[in-house]
Each structure stands twice: as C-alpha cells, then as structure tokens.
Amino acid sequence: MTTTDVTNGAAARIPAVGATPVTVPAGAASSETEGITRGRLVMRRFVRNRLALAGLATLVLLYLLALTSPLFAPWAYSEYDYTAFLQAPSASHWFGTSQIGEDVFAQTMRGLQKSLSIGLLTAAVSIVIASVVGASAGYFGGWVDRGLMWVVDLLLVLPSFLIIAIISPALRGDSWILFVLLLGLFAWMITARILRGMTLTLREREFVKAAKFMGAPPRTIIRRHILPNMASLMIIDVTITVGATILLETGLSFFGFGIQPPDVSLGTLIRDGSTASLTTPWLFLFSGGLLVIAVLAVNFVGDGLRDAFDPQSRGGQRRQQKKAAPAQKAAF
C-alpha cells in the first residue's frame, strides 16, 4: 500500500468507516438557532454594554468635532487676534484667548485631534508588535524566543526618551506619523514580555494541544486560541498606553521635541495653561477636561471589549438575564 492511500485502507471488508453520514434530516437544521462565529458573538455582546457604546460614541464625536471644527469655528488655530489678549470665553472666542491672542477653542480642537491620533495609533502599533513578538516567542520557544527576547532586552535598556529626543529633530517637517511609529517602537517591550509569559502557560493547555492534533498551523493557533485568551490583558494595556502616550508626548514637547509650535497638542496646551490655572482657568480647563473625557472613553470601550471577549464576565449577559426573568415568571 502506498503512503498516499490513507483514506481507503480500512474500507475494504467491513463497513466500519466513519464516513457514514449521520441521519439527520437536512431540513431540520435550518429551523434551529443559527450558529454565529465568535467575531459576531463578541460584537453582539459588546453592543449590549451601554457604557462601552457611550464611550465609543464619545470618542467618535470628539474626533469628528476636532476634524470638522475648522469648517465652522471663527478662528483658525494658527491665527492671532491682536485685539484680544487673555480674554475669558465669549461669543467670538468660545474658549477664550491666550496671552498672545490665540483662540483657545481652535487650539484645543487641533490639540485634541493630534493627541487622540498619537495616543490611539501609538497604542495600536505597540500592541500589534507586542502581541506578535510575545506570542511568537512564547509559542515557538527555542531560538525564536531567545532572539526576540534579546531584542526586547536591548530595547528595554536603551533610554527611549533620549533616543526619541535625538531622532525627532531629524524627522522635523516630516509627517507626525513617523513620530507615532517612533513612540510605538519604544512602548511595546514590557507588554511583549508579559504576553510571552502568558503564552508559555497557554501553550501547555489542552485546547492548544487539541488544535495541534487537528492539524492547525501555528499562526492559526496563535490567532484563534492564544491571543483571545490574552485579550483582557492586551485591552487593559492598550487603554493605559493611550493615556501614557498622550502624557509622554507632552513631556517630549516640553523639551522641544515631538509636536512643535505653531502646531499644538493637548499636552502642550495643558503645559502652557497650567501655570496660571487659578487666574485664567480657561487656558487649562478645556484641554484638561477633554483629555480626561477622551481617556475615560477609551477606558469604557476597553472594559466593554474585555467583557465581550470574556465569557465569564456578566457584562455581556446582563440584559439577556433581565429579558429572561419575566419569561420565567410567566412559566410558573
């Protein structure tokens, strides 16, 4: 018998072949509950979570507001109103003006747009690198593991703040996307190490073994089993990174790197405004408040996603139970 003849080997004499189709009428299946894949189930559970939806809506609204504000705002962020220095909010300057006559509303919107973009994109870049590196190192082990962890350790000992500070002047004038990449490149290492550790334990779990015995290739196993089981940690990490990056960017801008004038970010606005927060609170309150709102919204979305992914959580089921309760009463 050739090695390729594997399916017909046992079929010869006894009808002991698993291929006998199961006798279930074909029509019966269609009337039943339709199975949905995990992606749609997670989506459904996420949508059930009102707080998370509110967070998502807030984020989208903030972003839309920041993007469209130049269309309707009376001033641009780079304009100066030489007739109004350090004015409180009024009809023409909605959030007031700064010491040199800049419109705080226009500046806040511009800063919001920049900061949100930087925060979200950096977090996304960092979590993608961290999960790919961490999961691969943990899953494959051996040389892959050692090589990747060597890179991680190297990047960890390099003073990232200094390197960004040195490189960013060279990027001046280029797109801020490069700045985002640079920030992302130095934000993933610790997460990657944690994810590697979790992968090491997940790798030994029986469901991963089961998938291996089904013939699933490593990338499928990582995508289907390893990453979703680390989702809670990854989501928490993303929400923290968003906030941390916005603040890190502030720090860099303070030393003259990162976002440079006349461009602004929430960080630079808060830095400039905080010195006189008691006498001229409008310089500081609006940008600070928006930062808090944005970070909170990201957190709510993160919590919602985490609950949607986690079958143990009650968040995803809450409304289902409420719905079921009256039905039960009726049954008694």
Partner 1 sequence: MTMFDTDVLADPGGDRSPGAREPLLEVTDLEVSFPGEEGRVRAVRGISYHLAPGEVLGIVGESGSGKSVSSLAVMGLLPPQAKISGSIRLRGQELLGLSDTELSRIRGRRIAMVFQDPLSALTPVYTVGDQVAEALLVHGGRSMSRTAAAKRAVELLDLVGIPRAATRAAGFPHEFSGGMRQRAVIAMAIANDPDLIIADEPTTALDVTVQAQVLEVLKTAQEVTGAGIVLITHDLGVIAGTADRVVVMYAGRAVESGTVDEIFATPRMPYTLGLLGSIPRLDVGRGRPLVPIEGQPPSLVALPPGCPFGPRCPLHVEACDQAEPELLTAPGSGRDHQVACIRSGELASADAEAEELAAEIYDAKDVDTSAIDAASRADRDAVLDVHALVKHYPVRTGGLFRRTVGAVHAVDGVTFDVRAGETLGLVGESGCGKSTTILEILGLEPPMSGSVQVLGADVATLSRTDRKRIRRDMQIVFQDPMASLDPRLPVRDLVAEPMEIQGFPATKIADRVPELMKLVGLRSEQINRYPNEFSGGQRQRICIARALALEPKVLVLDEPVSALDVSIQAGVLNLLNELKVRLGLAYLFVAHDLSVVRHIADRVAVMYLGKIVEIGGVDEVFAAPQHPYTQALLSAIPVPDPEVERRRERVLLTGDLPSPADPPSGCRFRTRCPLFLALDESRQARCIEQEPPRSPALPGEPGARVADHEVACHYAQIRAVV
- Phi/psi at 23 (5° precision): -85, 85
Rg of the chain taking only CA atoms, in angstroms: 27
Q: Which stretch binds partner 1 (CB under 8 A): 74-82, 91-99, 191-199, 213-221?
A: 213-221
Task: Concatenate the DSSP letters of all residues of 48-70 into one string.
Answer: H-HHHHHHHHHHHHHHHHHHHHH
Closer by beta carbon to partner 1, 123 or else 226: 226
Closer by beta carbon to partner 1, 114 or else 306: 306
Does 330 interact with partner 1 (rule: CB under 8 A)?
no
Closer by beta carbon to partner 1, 4 or else 279: 4
H-helix or E-strand spanning residue 1:
none
From candidates 206, 279, 329, 331, binder to partner 1 by CB under 8 A: 206
Residue with tokens 């009376």, as numbered in its chain: 74
Instruction: Return d(Cα 107, Cα 98) in angstroms, integer.
Output: 10
Nearest distance from C-beta of residue 17 to partner 1, angstroms: 6
Nearest distance from C-beta of residue 129 to partner 1, angstroms: 22
Instruction: Return d(Cα 267, Cα 248) in angstroms, integer.
Output: 9
Residue 229 CA: distances (Å) to CA of 150, 226, 243: 25, 5, 24
Under 8 Å between Cβ of 301 and 60: no
Nearest distance from C-beta of residue 30 to partner 1, angstroms: 8
Nearest distance from C-beta of residue 75 to partner 1, angstroms: 50
Nearest distance from C-beta of residue 299 to partner 1, angstroms: 22
Closer by beta carbon to partner 1, 79 or else 219: 219
Residues 35-54 that bind partner 1 (CB under 8 A): 35-38, 41
Please give the torsion angle defined by the CA atoms of residues 138, 143, 147 and 148, in that order, rounded to the nearest 10 degrees: -20
Does 157 interact with partner 1 (rule: CB under 8 A)?
no
Closer by beta carbon to partner 1, 36 or else 128: 36
Does 319 interact with partner 1 (rule: CB under 8 A)?
no
Does 170 interact with partner 1 (rule: CB under 8 A)?
no
Does 331 interact with partner 1 (rule: CB under 8 A)?
no
Specify the DSSP class assigned to residue 202. H
Instruction: Of 231, 243, 234, give the one whose Cα is nearest residue 316.
Output: 231
From the CB of residue 44, how many other CB atoms can be counted at a distance below 10 Å?
12
Instruction: Return d(Cα 269, Cα 288) in angstroms, integer.
Output: 8
Residues that bind partner 1 in the complex, under the rule CB under 8 A? 1, 3-7, 9-10, 12-22, 24, 26, 28-29, 32-38, 41, 205-207, 209-211, 213-216, 220, 224-225, 228-229, 231, 309-312
